[in-house]
Amino acid sequence: MKIPLSPTALLLAILCQTACSSDQPATGDAIASSKTKPNVLLICIDDLRPELKSFGVDYISSPHIDALAAQGRGFRRHYVQAPTCGASRYALLTGQYGGPSNSALFERAENLAEFPPSMPAWFRQHGYTTVSVGKVSHHPGGRGGPDWDDEGIPEMPDSWDRHILEAGAWQHSRGWMHGLAHGEIRGDATKMDGIQLVEGPDTVYPDGINTEVALRELDSLAANAADKPFFMAFGILRPHLPFGAPAKYMEPYAGVELPATSHPEKPAGRTTWHKSGEFFKYNLLDRETLADPEFAMEVRRHYAACVSYADEQVGRILARLDELGQRENTIVVLWGDHGWHLGEHDIWGKHALFEESLRSPLIVSYSGMADPGAMSDALVETVDIFPTLTELAGLPAPGGTVGNSLTALIDSPESVGRPAIGYFKNARTIRTDTHRLIAHDDGFLELYDHRTAAGESLNLAETQPALASELLAQLEARL
């Protein structure tokens, strides 16, 4: 009996029939030598909430990300594995649940033989040129040492042909990571502004020079794409703290009253709440956000300006992809490494297991996609990206990944996903279609019903113990 191909599988079959030699077997070696394999452009954005027009929020100016969503499949309910940069990127780049720390990739590198290949290593082994620009793994440029630029301490050995960070005036990767305008490097954070706007071009802040490097690399990769496909990862820093962007990006938000923050109160019971230390260690002009609602609004406007600044970098790289004639043969993925609280639950930052920390944008786009622009409400995870890209590229399935390919959801956006798993420090969580359970290592449980207005502000674990136990069993089975 013949099984009908899905639209995605049919597209790949047509591409192969039209450009592959018919006597070439579908092996790893054949794939590596094929000239028809699609390129991959992976765009990673730091601390990006799913508050974009394409995701249903009308006050954010993000035209380039929105255009990408209109050409692809956006996932409204994408959840990261951990609400911190390094551990989330570990899940992205390995397709595995991993340690909750920012050093997870370095720890993996020390025992590399014990692990299956990373996502870039897998593509590299199958004939791709792999290039990383900016912040893709936790350290921009992927190196360790005091200033994160020691070539003898790679974060991801055997993964990248080139792992690039040009720090410019910020001197080194550590300076670039926490930099403000004109090469200002974070030393004593209490003396560094937490919010800033400076007149000038995009290159006055770190992401501007990062994009220039990415454009140069894309030119080089495209020049050789007819002979060798590329896997390029482009990591954008903003809207990561400190919230600094060229002044022109504040124009859409100047004086605008943003919608009220939902559930702004500090939780009354035990949760994964924290004191927002990463945010409050910066100089905030001696003002506490909760005591000064107008200042809280100004912080939110600065965050929005940083999102628009990041969106412009996305637009520049996608425009160059078009100019080079590579969009038709490139799978584009845009991914936010986690969310960010802007006052919800009295948190300004990430590092909690609430919805605001764990939900981020995910968009997959490629030529020939069925019903482009339709959004999916399926629950999906970051670990799903690795198997999705290998299937779309026609590569053998990687071993050791725990995620599911999203191709069925891309073909049928109304389809249902599966519960999402997360973890941080001494707690784990499972998000179902209607509920979130958070399990602390000492046995304490939080249970929230997202069908109610209270959402993640009312713990139902004691009043609904049977449901809490059922979700805990699911969580433990997955982890």
DSSP for 414-451?
A: TS----EEEEETTEEEEE-SSEEEEEETTS-EEEEETT
Band (pLDDT 50/70/90 cuts) for residue 3 is very low
Residue 35: predicted pLDDT: 54
Q: In the chain, which residues fall in CATH 3.40.720.10? A: 39-418
CA triple 386-387-390, angle to 5 deg = 90
DSSP assigned state of 193: B
Q: Hey, what amino acid is at 367?
A: S
| Interatomic CA distance for residues 348 and 232, integer angstroms | 32
pLDDT digits (tens, 9 = 90+) for 413-430: 999 999 999 999 999 999
> Which of helix, strand or coil describes residue 92?
helix
Residue 56: predicted pLDDT: 92
Q: Which of 153, 129, 128, 118 is nearest to 139 (CA)?
A: 153
DSSP assigned state of 319: H
Residue 106: predicted pLDDT: 96
Region 231-259 average pLDDT: 97
- Number of other residues whose CB lies within 10 A of the CB of residue 466: 7
Sign (positive/negative) of CA torsion 15, 95, 48, 435? positive
CB within 8 Å of 173: residues ≥ 6 apart: 139, 140, 141, 143, 147, 148, 149, 165, 167
CB 249 within 8 A of CB 308: yes
CA triple 22-389-70, angle to 5 deg = 105
Band (pLDDT 50/70/90 cuts) for residue 30 is very low
Region 13-22 average pLDDT: 36
Q: How far is CA 304 from CA 115, 246, 424, 463, in A?
A: 39, 12, 26, 39
Residue 6: predicted pLDDT: 46
Residue 28: predicted pLDDT: 31
State both tokens at 448: 């929230």
- pLDDT mean across residues, the chain: 92
Residue 47: predicted pLDDT: 98
Helix-strand-coil split of the chain, %, nearest 5:
35, 20, 45
For residue 234, give the H/E element and its range: strand 230-236
CB 324 within 8 A of CB 215: no
Band (pLDDT 50/70/90 cuts) for residue 99 is confident
pLDDT digits (tens, 9 = 90+) for 278-292: 999 999 977 777 778
Q: What is the percent of the chain with per-residue pLDDT over 70, rounded to a whole number?
A: 92
pLDDT digits (tens, 9 = 90+) for 143-186: 999 999 999 999 999 999 999 999 999 999 999 999 999 999 99
Domain 39-418, second-level architecture: 3-Layer(aba) Sandwich (3.40)
| Interatomic CA distance for residues 314 and 362, integer angstroms | 14
CA triple 246-304-216, angle to 5 deg = 50
Residue 45: predicted pLDDT: 98
Q: How many residues does the chain have?
A: 479
Question: For the ranges 17-26, 78-87, 331-340, which has the lowest average pLDDT?
Answer: 17-26
Residue 444: predicted pLDDT: 98
Q: How far is CA 92 from CA 6, 79, 138, 388, in A?
A: 25, 11, 11, 11
pLDDT digits (tens, 9 = 90+) for 342-396: 999 999 999 999 999 999 999 999 999 999 999 999 999 999 999 999 999 999 9
Q: Which of 419, 415, 361, 372 is nearest to 76 (CA)?
A: 361
Name which residue leads in pLDDT, 5 or 28: 5
Q: How far is CA 292 from CA 192, 301, 306, 316, in A?
A: 20, 14, 22, 37
> 294 pLDDT exceeds 50?
yes
Residue 101: predicted pLDDT: 84
Preceding amide of 239 cis, omega within 30: yes
| Interatomic CA distance for residues 47 and 336, integer angstroms | 7
> 14 pLDDT exceeds 50?
no
Q: Which of 181, 351, 174, 203 is nearest to 277 (CA)?
A: 351
> 26 pLDDT exceeds 50?
no
Residue 361: predicted pLDDT: 98
Q: What is the 3-state secondary structure (H, E, C) of 347-413?
A: CEECCCCCHHHHECCEEEECCCCCCCCCCEEEEEEHHHHHHHHHHHHCCCCCCCCCCCCCHHHHHCC
